[in-house]
Amino acid sequence: MTTYWCERAWLGDRGWVDGVTVEVDGPVISGVEQRPLPPHAHRLCGLTVPGFANCHSHAFHRALRGRSERGRGDFWTWREMMYDVADRLEPDNYYRLALATYQEMVLAGFTAVGEFHYLHRDSHGNEYADRNVFGHALIQAARDAGLRITLLDACYLSAGFGEPPHGVQQRFSDRTAVAWRERVQELADEQAGPEVVIGAAVHSVRAVPSADIGTVATALPNAPLHVHLSEQVAENTACLQRHGCTPTQLLAVEGALTDRLTAVHATHVTGEDVRSLGAARCFVAFCPTTERDLADGIGPSRRLAEAGARVTLGSDSQAVIDPFEEMRALEMDERLASGERGGWSAGELLTAGTETGHTSLGFAAGRIAVGEWADLVTLDVTSPRTAGTGGDAETVVYGASRADVTSVIASGRPVDLDPREVGAALAAAITAVTG
Ligand SMILES: [Zn+2]
């Protein structure tokens, strides 16, 4: 048992409370109480909030930061650069890149990651002897970084509405949805421990034929299900041509719109799509720093929330890994699109980044409360960014950045990483996959 004493902690519905002891028993919180500093407690000075959930990550995209920003282009030109990196990945170099990327996440205050994983085969499109070798590497990387992981194993069968995969895309494909299901079932049956959840993903309605969406959606009936949804106008146009409906409506017809679905992006959705996603109580993962980096557009986050959808956040392409930036970007983008301020309150954004996110990944976490995973992130309120900002939710969302994180406790374990060593590991891992 370890006792922490938070100078000031965010207790969700109870708001900010000064002087909170948090008892941690193994990986979970066993007591929360307002009281003076006990003599044996570890002090957490500043603001303490629950750990953040990174609900949409592609670990290897970290290799593109600073490289893909050169020159002009759009999502599709960025995708060619991403494919170049994907082509060079092998289990060993991917493990090292994912480990360093996940360490960057933990240092920023993330305590769980939803890894949307679609690289399954070798560079010739053949299965490895261990056909889940990349999944195992990602799980091990998360474990070694001290991060809980929901591995969202993605089914990818076509390059776009019936077009066969070509080039590096053949590394993504299991050839059939049934073969995908068998492989994923094997991974799920391994029961890798409480810090690992195996979920399913429809890569997109482009990449999974409509007749196979149901197979993917029901493969793991109690696990999280994710899908890239309407990130690009081109996807909507092609879907309308092929099926006569939007990607959201296609998912609805195929029975995939449920309360365990996370729709990632939902940038270009119609009013009817918003109502459908809300009525089904879907999660919607916004990735604002990626969406702006790729010039994707601004999705209707506020309208989705008002319709009943549960909004979460993810770092996706790793252009930025900073939960504070994702939270505030949701509201800032909404301001630019709507011409109004204050659609999202800071408290709502904090809930999206923590409790809602962890729930979507299948973890009871994101609140400083008894029985939850012991994830505590503490921020300095005296830095040049945070000083004089009031010491409340607005300080966290609008004042702070990842540079203000002074302490991270993830699943009950204090994070002890040297940022310089993580930087060196990232540099080496990226060099190995970019040449
Ligand atoms: Zn993605």
Q: Which of 120, 265, 268, 358 is catalytic?
A: 265
pLDDT in tens, 30-83: 999 999 999 999 999 999 999 999 999 999 999 999 988 888 888 888 898 999
Where are the strands (E) in 26-109, listed by range? 28-34, 42-50, 52-57
Distance, CA 117 to ligand 1 centroid (Å)? 9
- Radius of gyration over every alpha carbon of the chain, rounded to an integer in angstroms: 21
What does each C-alpha distance from 384 to 327, 401, 406 come to in angstroms?
Answer: 20, 11, 14
166 Cβ contact partners less than 8 Å away, ≥ 6 residues apart = 159
pLDDT in tens, 259-304: 999 999 999 999 999 999 999 999 999 999 999 999 999 999 999 9
Distance, CA 364 to ligand 1 centroid (Å)? 24
Residue (of 365, 29, 374) closest to 197 by Cα position: 365
pLDDT in tens, 394-434: 999 999 999 999 999 999 999 999 999 999 999 999 999 99
**Separation of alpha carbons 369 and 210, rounded Å:** 42
72 Cβ contact partners less than 8 Å away, ≥ 6 residues apart = none
pLDDT in tens, 355-388: 999 999 999 999 999 999 999 999 999 999 999 9
Two structure tokens written together for 249: 């409506």
Two structure tokens written together for 241: 């041509």
Q: Are 79 and 37 in contact (CB under 8 A)?
A: no
Distance, CA 204 to ligand 1 centroid (Å)? 10
Q: Which of 316, 322, 380, 404 is catalytic?
A: 316
325 Cβ contact partners less than 8 Å away, ≥ 6 residues apart = 288, 289, 401, 402
Q: Work out the average pLDDT over 105-127.
A: 97
Two structure tokens written together for 355: 């409790």
Query: Tell me, what's the pLDDT at 351?
Result: 98
**Separation of alpha carbons 286 and 405, rounded Å:** 23
Q: Which residues are bridge partners to 49 per DSSP?
A: 377
CA 84 to chain centroid, in Å, comes to: 23
Where are the strands (E) in 288-338, listed by range? 310-313
Give me the half-sphere count of Cα atoms (radius 13 Å) on the Cβ side of residue 393: 21
Phi, psi at 360, each rounded to 5°: -65, -25
Query: Tell me, what's the pLDDT at 380?
Result: 98
Distance, CA 118 to ligand 1 centroid (Å)? 10
Distance, CA 314 to ligand 1 centroid (Å)? 9
pTM of the model: 0.97
Distance, CA 266 to ligand 1 centroid (Å)? 11
Distance, CA 387 to ligand 1 centroid (Å)? 35
**Separation of alpha carbons 409 and 424, rounded Å:** 23
- Per DSSP, the residues of 372-429 read SB--EEEE-SSSTTTTTS-SSHHIIIII--GGGEEEEEETTEE----HHHHHHHHHHH
**Separation of alpha carbons 104 and 422, rounded Å:** 7
Query: Tell me, what's the pLDDT at 74?
Result: 86
Polymer length in residues for the chain? 435
Q: Tell me if residue 265 is catalytic.
A: yes
Distance, CA 294 to ligand 1 centroid (Å)? 11
- For residue 209, what pLDDT band results from cuts at 50, 70 and 90? very high
Distance, CA 35 to ligand 1 centroid (Å)? 44
- For residue 188, what pLDDT band results from cuts at 50, 70 and 90? very high
pLDDT in tens, 221-261: 999 999 999 999 999 999 999 999 999 999 999 999 999 99
Q: What mean pLDDT value characterizes the chain?
A: 96
Q: Tell me if residue 189 is catalytic.
A: no
**Separation of alpha carbons 7 and 18, rounded Å:** 6
